Amino acid sequence: MPKLPKLPKQQTEEHSEVSPANVFIPVDELVKLNGAKVYQEWGVTLNQTEVKTNKNKFYKIQVIQAGNSYYCFTRWGRVGEKGRSAFPKCGDLEQAQKMFVSKFSEKTGNDWYKVKNNFNAFKSLSGLYTLIEMKNPSRTAITEAPRRAPNSKTIEKPCTLDTHTQKLVKLIFDNDMFKEQMKKLNIDLTKLPLGELSKKQLDKGFMILDRLEEAIKAGKRSKLEALSNEFYTEIPHSHGRRVLPIIQDPEVVQNKRDMLNILGDIEMAHGLSKHNDSGGVLELDHPLDGFYKLLDCDLEYLDKKKDEFKILNTYFEKTKNRDIQIMDIWKVNRHPEEDRFSVHDKIGNRRLLWHGTNVAVVVAILKTGLRIMPHSGGRVGRGIYFASENGKSANYVGPAGNTAIMFLNEVVLGKEHHIIEDDSSLVQAPDGFHSIIAKGQTEPDPKKDVKMTIDGHEVVVPQGEPIKTEYYETSSFSQTEYLIYKESQCRIRYLLSIQWDK
């Protein structure tokens, strides 16, 4: 059974401040002393990457307190490996702190006392290590649980979800799944642990990618190595003993942006896990009910015997391009979408279209909807991408084991502007148009289309196999892609759990 994150007690205002006394930094896994803890904020993770010399290394320093004894623990090695460590016992706290300060200065060229009071004071210096800043920073506040009455009891309510939905909720909130997806992105979890990556660190990564993109466009190839070093240093990648590649083409830059967006969504999902507690007799929701409520949407399991299921399954079977099959379908009602979607009530030409995604970002999508990310992009610019062929959207799926998640969305296309060549500069449809359609060489046979009525609107649902289009010889797109540049023009209608080929 997947491991679900614990639901921590919600912070109250009186315990919301983080001071050195209640800051918690996880003790390094190599420290085996009973009762060991990192003394206040005295713990850092450093990183250094140089592509040319195949350097990709980390350095950790922690002042460890175990009872009345103090140590200055250090650990170093190649990113993704266990590395070596030293754990000298110090005479007292002052000696341990002096060793820490000396090591920090030696490895980074920075004054620890300036940095610990203000992480913005840290300056990355050429040839030295860079500080990896985590949440708060790389710290988790220890907060007191609300006080309960002396004779309080805790009663956990039975789960109210059907068994299919229970299984789905377990999957999309599973800590092990999040970690596995981060590993697939070559992220070193020992340096960027789940739940600890700060938005500021992600923003640094995005800014470096922007500079890389500018250097590529300007033909300044000489800058690419240094900027690649900077990116890999800020966002530690596990790459074994292989040399990390220089980031030197726009597609790789966009792939790294997509990676950071996924990491941001994982952090969002992991951070949602909170619920209230109170004194007296406590009737707590079942954990799965608690997670389900965090999504702020309704998931209605769709009976496989219904005509609605059969229409969706035909759409899937006729347009897939690999050995996969639908396991379950849920109707989705995101509460915030109804009002914003109703703005387009008078616009017709609606289609039910596919959107593939990584299973690790499903929680973020259900919580916040499909978004146009600030650093997103692609062949048709910065918008939300959909397809009428499942096989196209399946290229963007990131399964967990043999289970994948895809969405079917009602998309208001309105007046379409058609293109057959890439244009990555697009950020909106032309004046007078509502969407941009990159007409592909193939498209599901339009003669087989059917219409479903959803909330009073006719929505086209393809039912035929892909056939050659009039653009077969001229389009640069193999399959048609549908782009909208306003988030309000789509509404998630169905979530599909899919048996995935390995």
Residue 173, classed as helix, strand or coil, is coil
Local structure of 196: helix, strand or coil: coil
- Our CA dihedral for 66, 69, 72, 77, rounded to 10 degrees, sits at -40
pLDDT at 21 over 50: no
Three-state secondary structure call for residue 481: strand
Domains and CATH numbers, the chain: 13-146 (2.20.140.10), 154-271 (1.20.142.10), 296-499 (3.90.228.10)
Phi, psi of 415 (to 5 degrees): -85, 120
Q: What is the pLDDT of residue 101?
A: 95
pLDDT over 70 (residue 19): no
Amino acid 147: pLDDT: 39
Whether the full predicted model's pTM is greater than 0.85, yes or no, is: no
DSSP helix/strand/coil, 289: helix
Among residues 58, 43, 50, 159, the alpha carbon closest in space to that of 100 is found at 43
Look at the block and give the residue holding tokens 């909720």: 169
Concatenated DSSP letters for 293-352?
Answer: HHT-EEEEEPPTTSHHHHHHHHHHHHH--SS-EEEEEEEEEETTHHHHHGGGTT---EEE
CB 149 within 8 A of CB 130: no
Q: Is pLDDT above 90 for 257?
A: no
Cα 411 to Cα 408: distance, rounded to the nearest angstrom: 9
Q: Kind of pairing, strands 140-141 and 450-454? A: unpaired
- Model confidence pLDDT, tens digit, residues 349-393: 999 999 999 999 999 999 999 998 777 778 898 899 999 999 999
Q: Which residue has the tokens 């300036």?
A: 114
Q: For residues 499 and 502, give the distance between their C-alpha atoms in angstroms, rounded to a whole number.
A: 10
Question: What Rg do the C-alpha atoms of the chain give, in angstroms?
Answer: 26
The amino acid that residue 325 corresponds to is Q
Can you give the pLDDT at residue 279? 44
Please report which confidence band the pLDDT of residue 10 belongs to, taking 50, 70 and 90 as the band edges: very low
Count of beta carbons in the 10 Å neighbourhood of residue 108: 23
- The answer, yes or no, to whether residue 479 has pLDDT greater than 50, is yes
Residue 456 CB neighbours (<10 A): 6
- Asked if residue 50 has pLDDT above 70, the reply is yes
Crossing angle of helices 250-271 and 175-184, in 10° steps, is 170
The string of pLDDT tens digits covering residues 386-429 is 999 999 999 999 999 999 999 999 999 999 999 999 998 899 99
Question: What confidence tens digit (pLDDT) does each residue in 184-241 have?
Answer: 887 777 666 656 667 778 888 899 999 998 999 888 878 898 899 888 888 878 766 7
- Tens-place pLDDT, residues 53-71: 888 889 999 999 999 999 9
Q: Locate tokens 């040839």: which residue?
A: 127
Give the DSSP H/E element, type plus range, for residue 102: helix 93-108
- Give the DSSP H or E segment for 114: helix 112-117
Taking the C-alpha atoms of residue 69 and residue 31, their distance in angstroms, rounded to an integer, is: 14
Q: Which residues are registered as beta bridge partners of 297?
A: 334
- Predicted confidence at residue 261, as pLDDT, reads 85
Given a cut of 70, is residue 14 above it in pLDDT? Answer: no
467, 369 in Cβ contact below 8 A? no
Q: What contacts 379, CB < 8 A, 6 or more positions away?
A: 422, 423, 424, 438, 477, 481
Cβ-based burial of 310 (10 A; exposed 0-12, middle 13-18, buried ≥19): exposed
Query: 145 falls in which pLDDT band (50, 70, 90)?
Result: very low
In the structure encoding, which two tokens stand for residue 209, read together?
């990618």
Q: Is the dihedral of CA 427, 432, 434, 438 positive or negative?
A: negative
Q: Give the integer Cα–Cα distance in Å for 230 and 232.
A: 6
What DSSP string describes 197-210? B-HHHHHHHHHHHH
Rounded mean pLDDT of the chain?
85
Q: Residue 135 — very low, low, confident or very high, per pLDDT cuts 50/70/90?
A: low
Question: Is 494:404 a contact under the CB 8 Å cutoff?
Answer: no
Cα–Cα distance measured from residue 372 to residue 370, given in angstroms and rounded to the nearest whole number? 7
* pLDDT the model gives residue 283: 61
Question: What's the rounded Cα separation, in Å, for the pair 490 and 344?
Answer: 10
Lowest-confidence segment of 94-108, 145-159, 352-366, 473-487 by average pLDDT = 145-159
pLDDT exceeds 60 at position 451: yes
Confidence of residue 263 (pLDDT cuts 50, 70, 90): confident
Between strands 481-484 and 450-454, the pairing is: unpaired
In three-state secondary structure terms, 466 is strand
Greatest pairwise CA separation for the chain in angstroms: 83
